[in-house]
A and B are shown apart, each in its own frame.
Chain A
Amino acid sequence: MSTTTGRPKRKTSWTAESRAREKVLLARMDAEPAESPAYIAARDELITMHIPLVEHLARRFRDRGEPHDDLVQVGMVGLIKAADRFDTTRGVEFSTYATPTIVGEIKRHFRDRGWSIRVPRRLQEMRQHISRATAELSQQTGHSPTVAELAAHLNITEEEVLEGLESAQAYSTLSLDSTTSSGDDESDSAALTDTLGDDDIALEGVEYRESLKPLLAQLSERERQIIMMRFFKNMTQAQIANEVGVSQMHVSRLLSKALKELRNGLTDDAF
């Protein structure tokens, strides 16, 4: 099941007409006192006109693990800031001015999420090599490989393996369900649909299950399945990988991502 996120093929039809309209709006914003209804109406329209620009810019950051909608949302903050700060006397187009502000907000969002915008290419490749080697070695030996085995197999140092593993983890703090186009050769396993009933059984006797259930429901099918397998059925990561048909590294990433989401919802339940 490869769900490529649909990329609407919309051409920005930035006609002379809309350009003229933009001028009118900017002139009005210049003339009217801020907070006046006329100013606000013009500002709103200017912002609305440029939503496609935000969407366009947000798409430039696709496949980096953040949901498109989130990027659009933070990009909108940038657009609004730009609308409020734009100075018509500068003689630049509004979109020219707004673009860096929007991109700045999106980048900041990535930084805030603890992930720099550019995963060094070397690490990305390393992550994939390790993932592949882990699968191969598990297949051959019947057990999850050690760091030393991986290092020997890949002809790299143990430190590099650890570095690659950690980069996979950092990557996971963002994305995991959006890996479809990131070059992972892990195919989604199809039949993971009938899990809710199972969840109920596995959660029997868990005191906090009423608070846990809605949170589990918010996870993706696969994350929920993996959480249940690992924490309530005590399967190992390798067993889960085998059963679900994804790599063990991917299981590990899904687990840590799903855990983070659950933690956010279950604040202070521990004390």
Chain B
Amino acid sequence: MSGSTVRLELPASSGYLVLARAAAAAMCARLDYPLDRLEDVKLAVDEGCTLLLSDTNPDETITLVLCPNDDGQLEISLTATTRHGKTPKESSFAWTVLSALVDRVSASAHNGRLTISLQASRGNALVGS
């Protein structure tokens, strides 16, 4: 983890998603991501948290870690203790959404803790078709 890592612990409740989104957005702004990527990252964090929330007890916490890597990409991990303690199906809608929003998505489960890892580059898609 580099010195500019941000770690946020959130109560597992949808009311706190705004904080997760805000942190992700601010990090993207720091990394000078273009707006459409910033919005994608926000949406991905929102989607990832919502995915965790669907399998988390309300008294749990979600840990959000935002870490810019050496390649200038943003690595994001979302971790919580879940009921099933297993990774989400890759055929699920949420997974499809996450895969479309960021460059890489992976999940791992250890001892009931599920981590969803996202990697988002700043992208350089040009406007126009």
Contacts and interface: CB of A to CB of B under 8 A. Distances in A.
Bind each other: yes
Interface of A: 114, 134, 138-139, 142-148, 150, 158, 161-162, 165-166, 169-170, 206-208, 212, 230-232, 234, 236-239, 241-243, 248-249, 252, 255-256, 259, 262-263, 266-271
A145 B82 CA distance: 38
Judged by DSSP, the binding face of A is helix
Interface of B: 15, 18, 21-22, 25-26, 28-29, 32-40, 42-43, 46-47, 50-51, 54-55, 82, 84, 86, 88-89, 91-97, 100, 123-129
B40 A166 contact: no
B54 A237 contact: no
12 contacts: A144-B37, A146-B35, A165-B39, A236-B40, A236-B125, A238-B126, A239-B128, A248-B35, A249-B39, A259-B47, A269-B92, A271-B82
Given A236-B123, A259-B47, 17 more contacts: A142-B126, A142-B127, A144-B35, A161-B29, A208-B93, A234-B100, A238-B34, A238-B127, A241-B36, A242-B127, A242-B128, A242-B129, A248-B36, A249-B35, A259-B43, A263-B50, A269-B92
A249 B126 CA distance: 16
Contact of A259 (B25, B55, B97): B97
A96 B70 CA distance: 65
B91 A206 contact: yes
Nearest to B94: A270
A49 B124 CA distance: 60
Contacts of A143: 34, 124-127
A207 B73 CA distance: 31
Top 4 A-B pairs ranked by shortest CB distance? A147-B29, A144-B34, A237-B36, A270-B92
A231 B95 CA distance: 10
B26 A236 contact: no
A267 to B, nearest CB: 7
Given A242-B127, A242-B128, A162 B29 contact: yes
Contact of B91 (A148, A207, A234): A207
A266 B94 CA distance: 9
A233 to B, nearest CB: 9
**Residue with the greatest number of chain B CB neighbours at <10 A, chosen from A169, A234, A249:** A169
Q: From B37, B39, B47, name the one whose CB has the most chain A CB atoms within 10 angstroms.
A: B39
Pick the most buried of B22, B84, B100: most chain A CB atoms within 10 A of its CB.
Answer: B100
A241 to B, nearest CB: 8
